[in-house]
Structures are given as C-alpha cells and as structure tokens.
Amino acid sequence: MNKKIFTTEKDYNRADVYVCEVSEGKTRSFVKKLFESGQVLINGKEAKPAQTIRSGETVEITYPEAVEYTAKPEDIPIEIIYEDEDLAVVNKPQGMTVHLGNGNIDGTLVNALLYKLDKLSGINGVIRPGIVHRIDKDTSGLLVVAKNDRAHLSLSKQIEEKTCKRTYLALLEGNLKTDSGTVTTYIGRSPQDRVKMAVVQPDKGKLAITDYCVEKRFDGYTLCRFDLKTGRTHQIRVHTKYLGHPIVGDKVYGIKKQKFKLNGQLLHAFRLSFVHPTTLKQMTFEAPLPDYFKEILDKLN
C-alpha cells in the first residue's frame, strides 16, 4: 500500500473532488472505490465522498499497489491492412481500447495483436508490447505497430520529431466560421475535473498544435480534417471544444443533447504516413470512414 498525507490549502464542498484533484491520473471510479474501502481519512476519521473539507485539515489517502498484468493473446477480429517483418498497420475499430490499464485486462488491441502477429517489440513492456502511439477507445482508425525494438525506436523518433503524419476526419457540431486554420494552445489536466484534459495556462500544460481544414459543410454540422503537429492526450477533442464546435458523439467534451444515437465520437484516423525503418521509403496508408460514420453523413446529405 502507498500512503500519502495532504494538508488542504482551501475549503472544498466535497471530499471526492479534492481526492480526484490530488490523485492525478486516477479516474472517478477509482476514487469512488477508495472511499468505499475506507482508504480516505480526514483528520484520522474515515471520510465520505460528499463530506466537506476545510482549509488546514489533514487528508490521508492509501492507494493500493499497482498490479501489472501481462497481456495474453485473444482471438479478436482486427483489420491489419499492412504487415512486414518490422511493423504492421492496423485499422482499430471504435470501442476497442489500445492496451491494458484502467481496469481493461482483456479485449484490447494488444490482446488481439499478440494472437495475430508472430512478434511485437518489447520496449513498452508486457502491457503495451508493440504500441508506438495510441488513439482513444472511441476513436477509430490507423495505428502503426512495431514488431521489433529497432523499428519501435525509429517510429517513436519520427513521432517525436513530427515527421510521422497523422490525419483525422471529424464531424463537428455547428459550422466553423473559417475554412482552415491552426489551433495553438497548451493542454493539461482540467482544474475542474482531473479526469478530463483542457486548454490551460502555459505553466500548467504542454504545447498543442492542430491544423484544420473544412471538408464539407452541412446544415448545422461541419466535416473537418485535422493534422496533428503534436500528440497530446485528447488533443483534437479538446481543440474542437475550444473552437466552440465539439465532435458529434463525444460524451466527454461534446454537448449533452446528441441528435444521433452513437457509441462514441465521430473521429477517425484516416491517414498515416511515415518512413519505413528498414527500407527508408515513405509509406502512406488510408482507411475509409467506418459505416456508422458514413451513415450519419448520408443522413445529413
């Protein structure tokens, strides 16, 4: 067990809000379990989630030791659109988590890759073998996977140096005023909800740059292309909200009243371009929009 003791610097209306704030990277469900198991004490007494906290009070939180699961092969259908000795390019479906973590110990892309491929790079350990970059669970589209450490290092360097190009399509609420532009902000944990990301002050986050271009306008919606210049968590989703036009179907950053019945945001990584680690040839792949995305566009047409 990992025990941490904090002294509050201001009043809080709810103890669970404070615990979420100081437990960076932990989900609300994780914090809820801490309270349910009696792992949160205020001034030495077991706390309740809705309990108020006053400035200067002592909060003691006992975190359980992290359990590192080993990913196991699972026969899960996935679309591998390219594969050679060094890498594979995968079209990830909406609803699939990329790797183990946050309660996901099976059914992930990694589980499927271990079954489908003969080898994966070991740089990211037993939880994320082969994973060079990731996309959100409810975002669909292209990922490149490394099958050996040499390829992994090459691809990671390309992402770091921004020579690996990642292009997305998204349907936005409302109509953008401009046909193209660049969003440049800093992204970090939201001060109001530590589970979310948000546009923050420079000293509170990391530089995030996204180019955008309108592909097609509909009545009340905009189909837009996005090119990532940086790769921050939830970057496109946060930047579209910042523009005042969140992604249709986004349950975290979108509007509350959704017109369409969707399982997640209409955001698709449709193009991926990089230099092959061995041949040094430029490679570009594209994946068509998934059927549920195209059906919404057809309705709007």
Question: Is 149 assigned a catalytic role?
Answer: no
Pairwise CA distance, residues 80 & 89, whole Å: 6
List the catalytic residue out of 136, 138, 149, 203.
Answer: 136
Q: Does 79-161 carry CATH code 3.40.228.10?
A: no
**What confidence category does residue 252 fall into, taking pLDDT thresholds of 50, 70 and 90?**
very high
Question: What pTM value is reported for the model?
Answer: 0.77
- CATH for 2-63, options being 1.10.760.10, 3.30.200.20, 3.90.45.10, 3.10.290.10: 3.10.290.10
Exposure on the CB side of residue 254, measured as CA atoms within 13 A:
21
% the chain with pLDDT above 70: 96
pLDDT digits (tens, 9 = 90+) for 82-98: 999 999 999 999 999 88
Pairwise CA distance, residues 234 & 251, whole Å: 13
pLDDT digits (tens, 9 = 90+) for 264-290: 999 999 999 999 999 999 999 999 999
Give the pLDDT of residue 67.
Answer: 57
> 88, 82 in Cβ contact below 8 A?
yes
Pairwise CA distance, residues 139 & 94, whole Å: 5
Domains 79-161 and 168-268 share a fold: yes
Pairwise CA distance, residues 171 & 221, whole Å: 7
For the chain, give every domain's residue range: 2-63, 79-161, 168-268
pLDDT digits (tens, 9 = 90+) for 26-56: 777 788 889 998 999 999 999 999 999 999 9
- CATH for 168-268, options being 3.30.2350.10, 3.30.360.10, 2.30.22.10, 3.30.420.10: 3.30.2350.10
Rounded mean pLDDT of 69-90? Answer: 91
Per-residue HEC secondary structure of 199-213 comes to EECHHHCEEEEEEEE
Residue 195 one-letter amino acid: V
Pairwise CA distance, residues 90 & 82, whole Å: 7
